[in-house]
Structure 1
Amino acid sequence: MRVVVQNDKKRAKGRRGRTAARAAVAVLTAAAIASGCGRDDEAPPPLKAPPARALDGYATKLRAEHAARAAAAERWGLKRTPLGPPPPPATKPVITTRDGFEVDGHEEQGLPPVFTTVPTEEKVVFLTIDDGAEKDPAFLRMMTDLRIPYTAFLSDYLVKEDYGYFRQMQARGAGLNNHTLSHPYLPGLSYSEQEREICGMQDVIEKRYGTRPLLFRPPFGNYDADTLRAAKACGVRYVPLWNEEVFVDHWEYREWDRDIHPGDIVLSHFRGTDEWAGRMPDMIRVFLDEVTAKGYAVGRLEDYL
C-alpha cells in the first residue's frame, strides 16, 4: 500500500510538471505574436519546452520589449506599433546583379553585384539613408526609441561638418557606408577620378569610424563599368540601389505595381525643412506607417549580406 501511495504522488508530480511546461509554451507563443514576431498569415514556429522558469523569463522580456516599442510609437505619433524584425538569416542569401543593371564584363570580372531587392520570402524591408546633409538630433532619438535599424551612405563634403553626429549614429547600431567624397556624377569622370572619389571615402570612414565599408552606393544611382571596377579595387563587395524612395510627404516606386515587396531596399535622404515640408522624424512616420500597415518589419541590410 505504501508503494502505491508513493507512485501516485510521483504521477501527480509528473502531471503538474507537464502542465507547467505546456502553460509556459503558451505564454511564450502569445508574447511572440504580441511583439510582432508573428504575422496574421503565418503560424508561429513550433516551440520546444525548456525549463518553465527560462520560458517565463523570455516571455516576460518579449512583453517588456513590445510594451516599450508601443510606448515609443505613441510618443512619436505613429499610427501603429512597428513590427519586430525576424532574426537574421542563418544562411545569407546569394546576391546577384538585377537583370538590366549589368555592365560589360560584369560577371567575368567579378564586379560587385548591383541590386534593388534582397532575396527573401520574409516580409522585411531595408531602410537606407543617403548623403548626410541634415543632422537632426531628434532623428537619432526616434530611431533609438523605436529600435529601427537603418543603413547610412555618406558623402564626406557633408559629413565633415559634424563627424561626431555620425559617430553617435554608429554607436547606436547604424552601418556607415560609402557614397563618395563629393557626390559627383560618376560616369562623367575618368577611372582614376572615380577611384579617388570611392577609395577616398573608404579612407575617411576607416579613419573616422574604424571600419572600411563593404557597401557603396553611387550618387544618383548612376554608374558605369569604371565605377564598379574602381569600387572593387577599393574593397567594395556590394552596390545596393533601391526599389522605393520615401519622402516627408509621399513615396515613389520603381516597380509598375507601385507597391513594396519582401526584401526591398528603400531609399531616403538626410533632409530637413530647407528642402522638405517637414523634418526627418516626419519622413520616418510616413515610412513606418506604410510598411507596418502592410505587415512588413524593418531589417538591417548588413545582416543579409
Structure 2
Amino acid sequence: MDRRIKTAAAACLLLAAGLVTGCTAGSSSASDSAAPDRSASPTRAARGGAGGAAAGEAAVRAAYRKWGLEPLAAPPAPPSTKPAGRRAADGGVPVISEIPTEQKIVFLTFDDGAEKDPRFVTMMRELKIPFTMFLTDAAIRADYGYFKPLQELGAGVQNHTLTHPNMRTLSAAAQKQEICGQQQKLKEHYGNVPRLFRPPYGNYNEDTRAAAASCGIESIVLWRESMQIKNMQYQRGDRKLHPGDVILAHFRGPSELKGTTMTEMTANLLRHIQEQGYTVARLEDYL
C-alpha cells in the first residue's frame, strides 16, 4: 500500500479510537454523538505527523488484539442528508431493514438489555464500535445505570417496548401504551426521547405503525441478519451481508449463549463483518 494512503488510513483509525478529531477529504472518518472536526488534517490531528499516526495505529491494533480481532476500517463520513427514515408512501411510519447506500457498511443493534456484562462496556470503550440499543424496560429496570456508560460512548438509546410483547396480539390502545410508556421511561432515565422503535420479534401491524407515530417515533427498524452465538442468520438466499444492512444482536450472556459470553459473541460478529469486507457505521447518522 502507498505510504501516503497508509498514513491517512492510520489517521482515520485514530479517529475511530477517539484520539483525533478528523480526516482529510478522501479518507474515511468515524461518527459519534458529537460531530468531529472533519476539516482537521492527519498531520494536525495526529499532532506529530506520520510518527504520531503510526503510534495511534499501533494503539488501535493493540486494543483489537486484546479482543482477538483485527481492526475494522474506519467508516465513511455520514451523508449530509440522511438517506432513510422519511415517511412511507402511505404517510405512515416507515419500516426499515436496511439503509440505502453503496458503501460497504452495516449497522449494529443490540436488543432487550437482560445481560449486563461489564466487560462489554470495556470492549465497546476500547474498540469504539458504533451501535444502537433497543431497550425493553422489563429487562433493564433492575439496573438502568448499566447502559449509561454505553450511551456516553455514543450508543443510541431507542425503544423496544415496556414488556416485550408480541405487538400483533395487542389492541391498538395496548400497543400505544407499550410504546409511549417506554418513550417516557427512556426519557426519564437517559434524557432523550427515542426516534426509533423495534417491535419485539419483528412483529407489527398497522396499529403498531399508528401507535408508533402517535408516540413520536419516526421509523420502525427491523433487520436483515441476526447474530446467534458463532454464526449469523441471513434473510437472503446468498447468505451474505449487503451494503446498509441492519444486524440484530442481543444483550445475552452464557445462560442463553451456551456458555459463550456477550463479548465473545460480539467478537464473532465483528469477525463476520470484517471477513466480508465491511465496517460498522452509526445507525442514527443515516436514519
**CA positional deviation for 1:107:** 3.1
Please say if 1:29 is aligned against 2:11: no
Matches within 5 A, 1:105-120: 107-108=89-90, 110-120=91-101
**d(CA) in 2 for partners of 1:90, 1:258:** 31
**d(CA) in 2 for partners of 1:240, 1:301:** 10
**d(CA) in 1 for partners of 2:243, 2:279:** 10
**Other-structure match for 2:267:** 285
63-72 vs 182-191, which deviates more?
63-72
**CA positional deviation for 1:300:** 0.5
Please tell me whether the aligned partners of residues 216 and 238 of structure 1 are also in contact (alpha carbons under 8 angstroms).
yes
Matches within 5 A, 1:141-152: 141-152=122-133
For residues 53 and 281 of structure 1, do their structure 2 counterparts lie closer, same or farther at Cα, with a shift above 3 Å needed? closer
**Other-structure match for 2:229:** 248
Please tell me whether the aligned partners of residues 28 and 55 of structure 1 are also in contact (alpha carbons under 8 angstroms).
no
C-alpha distance after superposition, 1:46-102 (max 9, x if no partner): 9xxx99964874655543443222111111112x222211111122214469xxxxx
**CA positional deviation for 1:172:** 1.5
Please say if 1:93 is aligned against 2:69: no
**d(CA) in 2 for partners of 1:234, 1:211:** 13
Please say if 1:77 is aligned against 2:59: no
**Larger Cα Rg: Structure 1 or Structure 2?**
1
Matches within 5 A, 1:145-294: 145-277=126-258, 278-294=260-276
The AA in structure 2 aligned to 1:283 is M
**CA positional deviation for 1:151:** 0.2
The AA in structure 1 aligned to 2:144 is Y
Q: TM-score by structure 1 length? A: 0.79
**d(CA) in 1 for partners of 2:245, 2:42:** 39
Which of 114, 122, 129 is 2:103 aligned to? 122
Please say if 1:298 is aligned against 2:274: no
Q: For 2:77, what is the secondary structure of its paired residue?
A: coil
Please tell me whether the aligned partners of residues 8 and 42 of structure 2 are also in contact (alpha carbons under 8 angstroms).
no
**d(CA) in 2 for partners of 1:94, 1:173:** 20
Please tell me whether the aligned partners of residues 248 and 279 of structure 1 are also in contact (alpha carbons under 8 angstroms).
no
Large movers: runs of 4+ above 3 Å: 26-29, 33-37, 50-65, 94-97
Q: For 1:162, what is the secondary structure of its paired residue?
A: helix
| Structure 2 segments unaligned to the other structure (5+ residues) | 14-24, 28-39
Identity %: 44
Please tell me whether the aligned partners of residues 31 and 59 of structure 1 are also in contact (alpha carbons under 8 angstroms).
yes
Q: TM-score by structure 2 length? A: 0.84
Please tell me whether the aligned partners of residues 167 and 200 of structure 2 are also in contact (alpha carbons under 8 angstroms).
yes
**d(CA) in 2 for partners of 1:61, 1:53:** 8
**CA positional deviation for 1:28:** 5.0
| Structure 1 segments unaligned to the other structure (5+ residues) | 1-25, 38-43, 98-105
The AA in structure 2 aligned to 1:295 is G
**Other-structure match for 1:68:** 59
For residues 227 and 53 of structure 1, do their structure 2 counterparts lie closer, same or farther at Cα, with a shift above 3 Å needed? closer
For residues 124 and 185 of structure 1, do their structure 2 counterparts lie closer, same or farther at Cα, with a shift above 3 Å needed? same
Please tell me whether the aligned partners of residues 229 and 257 of structure 2 are also in contact (alpha carbons under 8 angstroms).
yes
What is the root-mean-square deviation in Å for CA atoms of aligned residues? 2.3
Which of 113, 116, 128 is 1:132 aligned to? 113
